[in-house]
Amino acid sequence: MPSLNYATTLLAAADASVGGKTGVNNPVATNLIGVFHQPRKVYIDLAAWRTLPAREFRSGLAETIKHACMSDEQFFSYLEANMDRIITEEGELILDAGVCEQLALTNCRIKYAVVEQDEHEHNLRQILNLGHTAGRALEALSGYQLLHGEAIAVGLVIQARLGAKYGYMTEEEAGRVAALLK
């Protein structure tokens, strides 16, 4: 049956709008039950982002930063250079229209490139779980009081620190990941 996705949050735009992975959460874990069903179209409502509490928006930024970490150094640098056009250090949303459009487009491009090669998560698509091993555990341990992106942010920092410890990245690179997530 044909469907479309209409994402009204940055988290939905980055994490769920592209890829066709549909799942439900249960007390044991998120996305444990579900199927793959590709939408015919994906719409991302940037205007709806302005209605979000800052905490919800930051949750989506974590998935966005994950995409940059896993596949696009230029996008990572773009985020570093433009974070102050998205949100203040005090947590107030600015949401510059051009930057938000770039976030939406780049998130979709990165996720689509992965899903196109591995639609059903047999191999490459598992890269989209960067930060999710520890993150999902934290989500569950918090009784889902932590938002998905908050838990994933912690998971990304853990993986970056492990990556530095085992020589997959430098301490400086791990520090950049933590600083951007902060």
Q: Could you read off the pLDDT of 120-174 as tens digits, one per residue?
A: 888 998 999 999 999 999 999 999 999 999 999 999 999 999 999 999 999 999 9
Angle at 103 between CA 1 and CA 5, to 5 degrees: 15
pLDDT in tens, 61-97: 999 999 999 999 999 999 999 999 999 989 899 999 9
- Using alpha carbons, select from 88, 79, 134 the residue that is nearest to residue 110: 79
| Residue pair 64/107 in contact by the 8 Å Cβ criterion | yes
Nearest CA to 132 out of 83, 180, 79, 62 is that of 62
**Domains (ranges, CATH) in the chain?**
53-181 (1.20.1090.10)
Q: Which residues pair with 23 in a beta bridge?
A: 34
DSSP symbol at 93: B
Whether residue 29 is predicted with pLDDT greater than 70 in this model: the reply is: no
Question: Is pTM beyond 0.85 here?
Answer: yes
Distance CA 6, CA 59 (A): 18
Give SS3 for 28: coil
- Compare 73 and 24 and report the one with higher pLDDT: 73
pLDDT, greater one: 36 or 149: 149
| CB-based burial label for 137 (10 Å; 0-12, 13-18, 19+) | middle
Q: How much is the pLDDT for 36?
A: 76
Q: What is the pLDDT of residue 126?
A: 92
Per-residue model confidence (pLDDT) at position 89: 87
Is pLDDT above 80 for 19?
Answer: no
**Residue 54: its pLDDT value, please?**
95
Residue 107 has pLDDT above 80, yes or no: yes
Helix, strand, coil proportions of the chain in percent (round to 5)?
Answer: 60, 10, 30
What span, in angstroms and rounded, lies between the C-alpha atoms of 88 and 100? 15
How far apart, in Å, are the Cα atoms of 123 and each of 60, 71, 119, 128, 137?
A: 24, 16, 9, 10, 22
Q: Which two tokens stand for residue 33?
A: 């039950």
Q: Band of the pLDDT at 30, cuts 50, 70, 90?
A: low
Reduced 3-state DSSP string for 168-181: CCCHHHHHHHHHHH
